[in-house]
């Protein structure tokens, strides 16, 4: 078998066999195929796509390039919730305790943030002394005890994805739907779960800019799930404004805790309730998603979900008193208020711009090496559809280092598109694909 023939077949739209796909990927993993050949294959895939059959083999071979995590000693219905990356996305903070309180468990791998999007690891690491599980055994232990287990991605989980993603980045093939689908799903398939629920973000600041692109990514990931015999559900959710009100790390933890106390922003509530209801349906507890809502209300109103969060924080080495005293979390020293430049309705909030405005004051990473300031962040006080007057307070920037704060303020002002056109409140859940 010759790699050049495989590339040629892909270039000409001829379906590859399982053996050809496995040969290509395994040879690349072993360093026997040079980057220029793999780059050429990726570009051919960018234009020619993959059939579902090819995609399943491609993804399973990627998954098998590293460790596969199973939990033989974890006796709970396991939910793996994954977001394709958003701004202000603190869904995991709120949903993991809710799922546990509903009798399920989360045992998942989480990522760090890069660029304008945040990462779950960073948010929890803003809590003093908080330690993520570092081994499968720790993860099982804490998930058994509290119903919540989070671990960072190690280099041994799908190493081939790391190698291929780095190459895609420099040969302009990141935005390829089959390559994104296999990259995400190879990592989801590497860890045991009963249901995988993917929150695919759509809009400004998201990988998928349009609903059609998002739908097609969703369908490809569901096809991979079918091929791998796994239950995959997808929520398409709006990223044409940040999720909730806070963008940062400690400040997003606070918003997540407030949600568990019943104080929700409408959009965050919609995403969390929808995903939790999908999990309940997958487990067979309910038949229709609406039946999940009162069950979730119950674990919030009774304080059960908040109690799980406290236990999880305690088991992770940190002080559960943060739940009642936010001054135990990192605090920014300064606040800069941002006022509307004109009157009208908020038509749009450029999400990527807000994410970058938070990044430049230290809430996010410009490069993998950037050091975060966990205390800082941006609070948006006005959401899309709301009316504002010129000079009205629309956002607050919490900062320590003043170097970039003016820059950040200008980015926030630029992100707020205020005009006279008026707008219906944006829908948060754009579609659900089961």
- Residue count at the site for ligand URA (CB under 6 A)? 6
Paired with 337 in beta bridges are: 396
Q: Does residue 193 belong to the site contacting ligand URA (CB under 6 A)?
A: no
Active site residue 161: yes
Residue of the chain from 46, 58, 130, 207 that contacts ligand URA (CB under 6 A): 207
Using rule CB under 6 A, residue 106 touches ligand URA: no
For residue 224, CA distances in Å to 29, 44, 227, 400 come to 21, 20, 5, 45
Q: Nearest distance from residue 158's CB to ligand URA, in Å?
A: 9
Among the residue ranges 122-130, 131-139, 180-188, 424-432, the one whose residues contact ligand URA (CB under 6 A)? 180-188
Please identify, among the stretches 61-69, 100-108, 177-185, 231-239, the one whose residues bind ligand URA according to the rule CB under 6 A.
177-185
Does 318 engage in binding with ligand URA (CB under 6 A)?
no
Q: Which of 208, 225, 82, 224 is nearest to 153 (CA)?
A: 82
Active site residue 168: yes
Q: Is 347 a catalytic residue?
A: no
The active-site residue, picked from 83, 133, 183, 186, is 183
Q: Which of 64, 161, 267, 373 is catalytic?
A: 161
Hunting for tokens 């000693």 — which residue is that?
Answer: 73
Smallest distance, Å, CB 201 to ligand URA?
10
Site for ligand URA in 61-90 (CB under 6 A): 84
Residue among 42, 180, 197, 308 that touches ligand URA (CB under 6 A): 180
- CB 250 within 8 Å of CB 330: yes
Contact 244, 255 (CB under 8 A): yes
Please work out, in degrees rounded to the nearest 5, the angle formed at the alpha carbon of residue 318 by the alpha carbons of 313 and 324: 70
- The answer to whether 63 is a known catalytic residue is no
The span from the CA of 270 to the CA of 30, in Å, is: 45
Active site residue 116: no
Q: Which of 123, 136, 187, 348 is catalytic?
A: 187
Within 8 A by CB and 6+ apart from 30, the residues are none
DSSP state of 401: -
- HSE-up (13 A, CA, CB side) for residue 31: 0
Task: Please tell me whether residue 183 binds ligand URA under the rule CB under 6 A.
Answer: yes
Which residues form the catalytic set?
82, 161, 168, 183, 187
């Amino acid at each position: 078998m010759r790699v050049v023939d495989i590339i040629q077949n892909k270039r000409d739209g001829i379906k590859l066999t399982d053996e050809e796909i496995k040969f290509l990927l395994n040879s690349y993993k072993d360093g026997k195929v040079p980057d220029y050949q793999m780059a050429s294959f990726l570009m051919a895939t960018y234009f020619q796509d993959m059939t579902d059959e090819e995609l399943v083999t491609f993804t399973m071979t990627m998954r098998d390039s590293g460790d596969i995590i199973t939990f033989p000693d974890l006796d709970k219905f396991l939910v793996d919730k994954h977001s394709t990356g958003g701004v202000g996305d603190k869904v995991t903070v709120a949903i993991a305790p809710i799922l546990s309180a509903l009798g399920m468990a989360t045992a998942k791998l989480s990522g760090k943030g890069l660029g304008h999007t945040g990462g779950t690891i960073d948010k929890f690491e803003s809590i003093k002394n908080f330690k993520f599980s570092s081994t499968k055994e720790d993860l099982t232990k804490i998930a058994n005890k509290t119903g919540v287990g989070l671990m960072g991605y190690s280099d041994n989980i799908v190493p081939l994805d790391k190698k291929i993603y780095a190459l895609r980045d420099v040969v302009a093939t990141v935005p390829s739907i089959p390559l994104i689908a296999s990259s995400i799903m190879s990592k989801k398939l590497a860890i045991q779960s009963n249901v995988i629920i993917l929150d695919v973000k759509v809009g400004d600041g998201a990988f998928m800019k349009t609903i059609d692109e998002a739908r097609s990514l969703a369908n490809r990931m569901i096809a991979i799930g079918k091929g791998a015999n796994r239950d995959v559900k997808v929520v398409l959710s709006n990223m044409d404004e940040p999720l909730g009100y806070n963008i940062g790390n400690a400040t997003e933890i606070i918003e997540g805790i407030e949600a568990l106390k019943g104080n929700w922003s409408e959009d965050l509530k919609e995403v969390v309730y929808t995903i939790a209801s999908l999990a309940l349906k997958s487990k067979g507890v309910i038949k229709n998603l609406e039946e999940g809502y009162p069950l979730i209300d119950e674990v919030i109103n009774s304080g059960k979900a908040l109690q799980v969060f406290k236990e999880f924080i305690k088991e992770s080495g940190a002080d559960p008193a943060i739940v009642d005293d936010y001054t135990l979390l990192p605090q920014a020293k300064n606040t800069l208020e941002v006022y509307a430049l004109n009157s009208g309705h908020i038509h749009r909030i450029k999400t990527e711009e807000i994410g970058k405005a938070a990044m430049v004051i230290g809430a996010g990473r410009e490069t993998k090496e950037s050091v975060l300031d966990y205390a800082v962040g941006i609070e948006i006080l006005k959401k899309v559809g709301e009316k504002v007057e010129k000079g009205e307070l629309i956002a607050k920037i919490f900062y320590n280092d003043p170097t970039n704060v003016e820059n950040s303020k200008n980015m926030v002002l630029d992100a707020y598109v205020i005009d006279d056109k008026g707008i219906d409140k944006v829908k948060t859940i754009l579609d659900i694909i089961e």
